[in-house]
């Protein structure tokens, strides 16, 4: 655990040393909260971007509000001004309620911190700690994933050691948490994101809409 933590700190500090405006996209799932906890020790007022889709579990919103209050976070709720699509069209709904607000919210930043981990799903198996990404509108950012090779056990161990409250939905059997209508508990032995979107897809588009620069 100590080696993993030191590596994550080194990744964060190296990214901040490069300069440029930095922000964190945060769903308030465990790995995002760990990155937030580490990041705010070095950047106390880091903008915390939360995608308000209108379909979150009540527990997620209560947890967001609790941490925002207790940690005095600079939480910014990103929301489509006039959402019309619904979870029965998951690809289009995610594009409208998540991807479009994300692109608008990230405009003006150069460094984008995330809580992505390789272990989360097959689509993230080749994740690198530092990547250059370009959005369809031309926006380019350096994407930083300090916990890229952490296990879920390491994530929860960090939260325990640092006395960080955990989103209650984990205790109910949800290892990956998105919008309530599109989130189910995976079957035993399945990866964490197998319960998302009824198995129709593994990504909402936030981390696949960009082009990774080689």
Residues with Cβ within 8 Å of residue 70, at least 6 apart in sequence = none
List the one residue out of 33, 13, 21, 35 whose CA is nearest residue 169.
Answer: 33
Q: Are 205 and 102 in contact (CB under 8 A)?
A: no
CA distances from 92 to 84, 107, 115, 141, 194 (A): 10, 22, 24, 24, 20
Residue among 26, 94, 182, 204 flagged as catalytic:
204
Answer for the pair 71, 98: CB distance below 8 angstroms, yes or no.
no
Distance between CA 162 and CA 37 in Å, rounded? 9
Residue 204 annotated among the catalytic residues of the structure: yes
Q: State the catalytic residues.
A: 204
């Amino acid at each position: 655990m100590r080696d993993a933590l030191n590596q994550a700190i080194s990744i964060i500090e190296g990214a901040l040393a490069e300069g440029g405006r930095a922000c964190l996209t945060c769903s308030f799932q465990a790995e995002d909260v760990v990155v937030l906890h580490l990041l705010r020790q070095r950047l106390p007022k880091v903008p915390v971007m939360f995608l308000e889709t209108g379909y979150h579990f009540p527990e997620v919103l209560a947890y967001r509000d609790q941490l925002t209050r207790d940690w005095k976070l600079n939480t910014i709720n990103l929301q489509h001004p006039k959402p019309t699509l619904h979870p029965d069209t998951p690809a289009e709904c995610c594009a409208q309620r998540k991807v479009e607000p994300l692109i608008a919210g990230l405009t003006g930043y150069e460094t984008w911190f995330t809580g992505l981990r390789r272990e989360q799903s097959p689509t993230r198996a080749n994740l690198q700690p530092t990547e250059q990404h370009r959005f369809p509108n031309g926006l380019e950012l350096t994407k930083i994933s300090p916990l890229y090779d952490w296990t879920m056990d390491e994530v929860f161990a960090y939260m325990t050691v640092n006395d960080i409250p955990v989103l209650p939905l984990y205790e109910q059997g949800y290892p990956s948490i998105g919008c309530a209508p599109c989130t189910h508990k995976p079957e035993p032995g399945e990866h964490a994101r197998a319960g998302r979107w009824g198995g129709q897809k593994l990504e909402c588009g936030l981390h696949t809409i960009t082009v990774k620069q080689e």
